[in-house]
């Protein structure tokens, strides 16, 4: 059978990712996820003063800089055994949630649902409805998402002075208190977004929506009223399922979550023992068993990466990142291959919800597994939970007007030692591992959510999550593989997605 290679570029602001797929006929038989840009943040940090990480690491990403900052500060606090007051934890959480809400809404309605307007679907019954809602710059939901998603990060600017790339979290707290003006302004921003979300995205109130607990509840709700089926989430579900996204794009069954948002009521417990608002854990996809998360079980492999080779996997505290570009070998990426308990895992909103025990996502997962539709649905489900939790957080801040936002550390400098900061960014599990020797950073290792999901093969030859989610997929038209676009976008990797065929040099674009 004719075999050909398709190359898909995923150009992100943060760095470039490509997919190289081998098709036999119309079926994907091999997939390589290629990190095509070496960035070197980990090396930049070595030999610097520990607190430089608070300025440098938020620059890793223009979308999740708050999460990077949080991971960096948690690692330093762990090393210095530095306590943090509850008010500071609430401000940090509020800002982390604002960042995730923006990312999730943009990923869903600026990028994912736009594919439903692809000309391939022009003969389908849903086509005109899809265009009216999701067509870029014209559809009502696309325009609403554009307008409403941009204001939510103003909350971070209020508390952190700027967004993106802010550095307002310091060991011991945050730089500014939550004064009543900030709280009122934040509530007003939140209210505006929540109103739009209720009206246009879920077609009902947040409480009603979050009260749905089973797959049956959800499907009955969807059929109950026009307001539900015509809502953005209704259309996304009906169209997504109509084109079979609930049967595609599963990837690895193993799920990992570091837990999200430190519990301010448990502020006295230092991390990593401090409780989270959303639980951490590991879901073993083979047995269905939910196990406690243990960071010591993380390793990174470089067998297929352009780094100086070492055998097997290494924990980040023994991690090594020495670039060794070998374009003509079987190595194919600048990403390492992280593994948990030597297993290929996925992270992100679906893993987070399943591990936290969110009932509706669990019920849908039990029914149909971790498919592309559910992965995207879990992302939007999270938005509702975060909007609600942000409101609670603001009310708690208002109820403790005199709570200190900073407890200055006794020691001015961070002492020698090692620590890690593990947080949940919009795309999933984000970790920083830091070692300090003679007052300077001697090792800094970052594992991003995309490193987990976009992992290449490991030293045992096992593919990463995105790679495996495409194997066996059959596309209608290899010259315009929109099905691949749906699955890749459900993983939330990219802003722009172009395809070119290596065999002809002809360049195609996955619409739009």
Partner 1 sequence: MGGRHIICFGNELHGDDGFGPRIYTELCQLAWASDAEVFNAGIAGLDALRFLEGCRQAILVDALANFGKPGDVCLVRPEELANRPQRLSGHGLGLPYLLEAFKSLRGPVPEILIVGVEVTAAKPFSPGLSAKTEQAVPTTLQLIRSLLSE
Binding site residues, partner 1, CB under 8 A? 13, 37, 62, 106, 136-138, 142-143, 146-147, 150, 153, 163-164, 495-496
Q: Please tell me the distance from the alpha carbon of residue 120 to that of residue 484, in angstroms, as a whole number.
A: 13
Closest approach, Cβ 285 to partner 1, in A, equals 36
Tokens of 375: 């992965």
Burial (CB count within 10 angstroms: exposed 0-12, middle 13-18, buried 19+), residue 446: buried
Cis before 305 (ω within 30): no
Closest approach, Cβ 147 to partner 1, in A, equals 5
Tokens of 269: 């417990």
Closest approach, Cβ 195 to partner 1, in A, equals 15
Q: Which is nearer to partner 1, 137 or 392 (CB)?
A: 137
Q: Which is nearer to partner 1, 88 or 201 (CB)?
A: 201
Tokens of 489: 């976008």
Burial (CB count within 10 angstroms: exposed 0-12, middle 13-18, buried 19+), residue 260: buried
Tokens of 400: 């403790």
Closest approach, Cβ 186 to partner 1, in A, equals 17
Q: Which run of H or E residues covers position 435? A: strand 428-437
Q: Which is nearer to partner 1, 142 or 463 (CB)?
A: 142
Q: Please tell me the distance from the alpha carbon of residue 474 to that of residue 193, in angstroms, as a whole number.
A: 39
Q: Please tell me the distance from the alpha carbon of residue 512 to that of residue 507, in angstroms, as a whole number.
A: 14
Closest approach, Cβ 118 to partner 1, in A, equals 17
Q: Please tell me the distance from the alpha carbon of residue 299 to that of residue 338, in angstroms, as a whole number.
A: 6
Closest approach, Cβ 146 to partner 1, in A, equals 6
Closest approach, Cβ 29 to partner 1, in A, equals 32
Tell me the backbone φ, ψ of residue 92, rounded to 5 degrees. -60, -45
Residue spans of alpha helices (H) in 249-371: 349-356, 359-368
What is the number of residues in the chain? 512
Closest approach, Cβ 149 to partner 1, in A, equals 8
- State whether residue 390 is helix, strand or coil: helix
Tokens of 386: 């975060």
First to last CA, the chain: 30
Q: Which is nearer to partner 1, 66 or 257 (CB)?
A: 66
293-299-305 Cα angle (round to 5): 140
Q: Which is nearer to partner 1, 61 or 386 (CB)?
A: 61
Give the other-Cβ count within 10 Å of 487's Cβ.
22
Closest approach, Cβ 496 to partner 1, in A, equals 7
Q: Which is nearer to partner 1, 3 or 195 (CB)?
A: 195
Q: Which is nearer to partner 1, 25 or 323 (CB)?
A: 323
Q: Which is nearer to partner 1, 143 or 362 (CB)?
A: 143
Q: Which is nearer to partner 1, 135 or 425 (CB)?
A: 135
Q: Which is nearer to partner 1, 106 or 462 (CB)?
A: 106
Q: Please tell me the distance from the alpha carbon of residue 131 to that of residue 242, in angstroms, as a whole number.
A: 16
Cis before 180 (ω within 30): no
Q: Which is nearer to partner 1, 62 or 205 (CB)?
A: 62
Q: Which is nearest to 191 in space by CA: 148, 150, 144? A: 148
Closest approach, Cβ 68 to partner 1, in A, equals 16
The dihedral through the CA atoms of 186, 354, 269, 45 has a sign that is: negative
Residue 414 DSSP one-character state:
P
Q: Which is nearer to partner 1, 110 or 372 (CB)?
A: 110
Q: Which is nearer to partner 1, 335 or 353 (CB)?
A: 335
Tell me the backbone φ, ψ of residue 170, rounded to 5 degrees. -125, 160
Closest approach, Cβ 13 to partner 1, in A, equals 5
Closest approach, Cβ 315 to partner 1, in A, equals 30
Cis before 445 (ω within 30): no
- Name the pairing type of β-strands 255-257 and 281-283: antiparallel
Are residues 202 and 231 in contact, defined by beta-carbon separation less than 8 angstroms? yes
* Max CA distance (Å), the chain: 72
Closest approach, Cβ 487 to partner 1, in A, equals 22
Q: Which run of H or E residues covers position 210? A: helix 206-210
């Amino acid at each position: 059978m004719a075999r050909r290679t398709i190359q898909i570029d995923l150009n992100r602001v943060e760095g470039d990712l490509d997919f190289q797929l081998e098709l036999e006929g119309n079926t994907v038989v091999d997939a390589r996820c290629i990190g095509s840009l070496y960035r070197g943040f980990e090396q930049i940090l070595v030999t610097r003063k520990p607190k430089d990480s608070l300025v440098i690491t938020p620059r890793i990403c223009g979308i999740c800089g708050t999460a990077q900052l949080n991971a960096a500060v948690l690692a330093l606090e762990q090393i210095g055994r530095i306590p943090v007051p509850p008010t500071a934890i609430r401000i940090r959480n509020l800002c982390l949630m604002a960042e995730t809400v923006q990312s999730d809404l943009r990923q869903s309605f600026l990028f994912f649902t736009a594919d439903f307007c692809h000309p391939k679907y022009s003969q389908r019954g849903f086509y005109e409805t899809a265009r009216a809602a999701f067509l870029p710059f014209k559809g009502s939901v696309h325009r609403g998402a554009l307008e409403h998603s941009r204001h939510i990060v103003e909350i971070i600017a209020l508390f952190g002075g700027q967004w993106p790339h802010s550095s307002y979290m310091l060991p011991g707290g945050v730089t500014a208190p939550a004064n009543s003006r900030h709280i009122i302004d934040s509530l007003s921003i939140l209210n505006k977004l929540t109103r739009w979300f209720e009206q246009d995205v879920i077609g009902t109130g947040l409480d009603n929506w979050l009260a749905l607990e089973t797959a049956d509840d959800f499907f009955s709700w969807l059929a109950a009223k026009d307001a539900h089926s015509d809502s953005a989430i209704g259309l996304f579900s009906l169209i997504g399922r109509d084109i079979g996204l609930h049967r595609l794009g599963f990837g690895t069954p193993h799920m990992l979550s570091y837990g999200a948002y430190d519990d301010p009521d448990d502020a006295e417990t230092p991390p990593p023992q401090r409780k989270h608002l959303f639980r951490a854990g590991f879901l073993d996809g083979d047995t269905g068993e939910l196990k406690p998360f243990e960071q010591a079980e993380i390793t990174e492999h470089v067998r297929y990466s352009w780094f100086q080779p070492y055998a097997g996997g290494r924990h980040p505290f023994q991690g090594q990142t020495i670039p060794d570009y070998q374009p003509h070998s079987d190595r194919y990426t600048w990403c390492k291959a992280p593994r948990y308990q030597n297993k290929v895992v996925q992270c992100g909103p679906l893993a987070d919800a399943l591990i936290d025990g969110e009932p509706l996502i669990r019920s849908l997962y039990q029914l149909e597994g971790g498919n592309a539709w559910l992965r995207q649905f879990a992302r939007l489900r999270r938005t509702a939970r975060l909007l609600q939790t942000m409101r609670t957080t603001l009310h708690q801040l208002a109820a403790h007007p005199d709570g200190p936002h900073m407890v200055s550390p006794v020691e001015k400098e961070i002492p020698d030692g090692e620590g890690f900061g593990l947080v949940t960014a919009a795309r999933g599990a984000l970790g920083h591992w830091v070692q300090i020797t003679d007052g300077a950073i001697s090792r800094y290792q970052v594992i991003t959510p995309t490193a987990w999901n976009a992992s290449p093969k490991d030293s045992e030859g096992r593919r990463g999550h995105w790679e495996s989610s495409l194997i066996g997929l059959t596309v209608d038209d290899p010259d315009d593989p929109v099905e691949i676009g749906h699955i890749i976008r459900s993983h939330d990797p990219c802003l722009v997605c172009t395809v070119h065929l290596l065999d002809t040099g002809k360049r195609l674009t996955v619409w739009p």
